């Protein structure tokens, strides 16, 4: 029961924070030629080691569900990069002082931020064909990130990001 409550809470948190994904691809690519993949050996994801493992496990599961195989000599390689940044704070309270009289006026106003800034994470996934095509597909996701989230919530969030990233792969003609 506790697991069910945790999962429900995690899904609620994930559903409240949107995941934005932008896609780009080489439109001359024949995506039916790609059935196997692997990761670059020297990939620096920018995620913690545990988050990298969670992310790769989720990506492997989703890729295999789409019919792709992880092999030693693949059709394409996957490169993953991520970065964290603080979003601009939009909630402020204005405080002003002003005066005037006899057709003369003046004033001072400042904005005081409310709450704390949101931390966002951008994850870029590149699919690269090293046998001539080069980069042929890219997804850039951006979503809120809680550095203090529990391991379960991190896993749910990373799975949601992978689902959103791969929903349009391969692209429809």
Residue whose C-alpha is closest to residue 119's, from 93, 92, 159, 89: 89
Q: How confident is the model at residue 153 (pLDDT cuts 50, 70, 90)?
A: very high
SS3 readout for 3-51: HHHHHHHHHHHHHHCCEEEEEEECCCCCHHHCCEEEECCCCCCCCCHHH
Assigned domain for 92 exists? no
Residue 49 falls inside a structural domain: yes
The predicted structure's pLDDT at residue 132: 81
What letter does residue 114 receive in the DSSP assignment?
-
> Which tens digits make up the pLDDT trace of 90-109?
566 565 555 656 665 556 66
- Whether 56 is in a domain gets the answer yes
Asked if residue 1 is part of any domain, the answer here is no
Q: State residue 148's pLDDT score.
A: 87
Question: Band of the pLDDT at 172, cuts 50, 70, 90?
Answer: confident
Percent of the chain scoring above 70 in pLDDT: 72
pLDDT score recorded for residue 15: 46
DSSP string across 65-109: HTT-EE-SS-SEEEEEEEEEEEPPP--EEEEEEEEEETTEEEEEE
Least confident window among 36-50, 74-88, 122-136: 74-88
Residues with Cβ within 8 Å of 91's Cβ and at least 6 positions away in sequence, in order, are 113, 114, 115
Q: What is the pLDDT of residues 5-31, one digit of tens each?
A: 554 444 444 445 689 999 999 999 999
Which tokens go with 83? 């970065």
Q: Which domain holds residue 136?
A: 20-85+119-173
Whether 44 is covered by a domain: the verdict is yes
**Count of structural domains within the chain:** 1
Asked, for residue 109, whether it belongs to a domain, the answer is no
The CATH number covering residue 59 comes to 3.30.160.670
Residue 12 lies in a domain: no
Mean pLDDT over each residue of the chain, to the nearest integer:
83
**Closest C-alpha among 18, 61, 39, 41 to residue 126:** 39
| CA-to-CA separations, 133 to 8, 25, 29, 51, 161, in angstroms, rounded | 43, 11, 8, 30, 26
6 within some domain: no
- Assess contact for 140 and 122: CB atoms under 8 A: yes
């Amino acid at each position: 029961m506790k697991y069910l409550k945790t999962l429900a809470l995690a899904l609620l948190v994930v559903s409240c924070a949107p995941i934005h994904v932008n896609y780009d691809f080489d439109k001359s690519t024949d995506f039916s030629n790609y059935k196997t993949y692997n990761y670059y050996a020297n990939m620096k994801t920018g995620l913690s080691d545990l988050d990298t493992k969670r992310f790769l496990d989720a990506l492997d599961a989703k890729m295999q569900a789409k019919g792709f195989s992880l092999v030693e000599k693949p059709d394409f390689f996957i490169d993953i990069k991520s970065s964290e940044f603080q979003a601009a704070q939009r909630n402020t309270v204005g405080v002003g002082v002003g005066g005037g009289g006899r057709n003369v006026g003046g004033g001072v106003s400042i904005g005081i931020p409310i709450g704390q800034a949101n931390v966002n994470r951008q994850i870029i996934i590149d699919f690269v064909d090293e046998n001539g095509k080069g980069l042929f597909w890219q997804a850039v996701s951006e979503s809120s990130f809680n550095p203090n989230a529990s391991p379960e919530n991190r896993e749910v969030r990373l799975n949601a990001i992978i689902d959103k990233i791969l929903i349009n792969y391969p692209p429809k003609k």
